[in-house]
Amino acid sequence: MLMSQKRRRHTPEFRRRAVELLISGRSLHELARELDVGATTLWRWKEMFLHEAAAGPPPQEDHRPADQVYHENQELRRRLKELETHHEILKKALGILSQPLPPGMP
C-alpha cells in the first residue's frame, strides 16, 4: 500500500546553508540523509546555487553619454600604461638589487 508523501517546502536559507555544507566537502548522500532531503534534490539545489553565483548580479544600466564613456576609457588606458611602466621599472630594480654585491663592497 502506497502512502502519500507530503511535499515539504524548505526556506531559501535552509537550501543555501545545505549547499554551503555540500560545497565545503561533505558527502552528498550523507548530508542528504542527515538533512532528510533527497540526494537528487540536494544536488539540484547545488546546481541552481552555482548557476546563480556564476551569473553574478544583474548588469546595471549605464546612462552616461558615449563621449563620457570614451574619455573615461582613454583615461583608464593611459593609467594602465603608466602602471605597467612602473611595474617594469620595479621588476628591473628588484633584479639589480637581488644580485650579489661585488667583492670589496660593504
- In terms of residue numbers, what domain contains 18? 12-55
Round to whole Å and give the CA distance between 28 and 42. 7
pLDDT of residue 4: 53
Give the pLDDT confidence of 1-38 residue by residue, as tens digits. 455 566 778 999 999 999 999 999 899 999 999 999 99
Task: Please write the tens of the pLDDT for every residue from 45-82.
Answer: 999 998 888 887 777 778 888 999 999 999 999 999 99
Distance CA 87, CA 89 (A): 5
Rounded to an integer, what is the distance from CA 52 to the centroid of its chain?
Answer: 12
99 CB-contact burial (10 Å; exposed 0-12 / middle 13-18 / buried 19+) = exposed
For the entire predicted model, the pTM comes to: 0.48
What's the pLDDT at 46? 94
Residue 98 has pLDDT above 80, yes or no: yes
What is the Cα–Cα distance from 52 to 65, expressed in whole angstroms?
A: 31
Residue 3 domain-assigned (yes or no): no
Which residues are within 8 A (CB) of 16 and not within 5 positions of it... i.e. 6 or more apart? 49
Looking at the fold, whether 18 and 50 belong to one and the same domain comes out as yes
Within-domain flag for 103: no
How many structural domains is the chain composed of?
A: 2
What is the predicted pLDDT for the residue at 85?
97
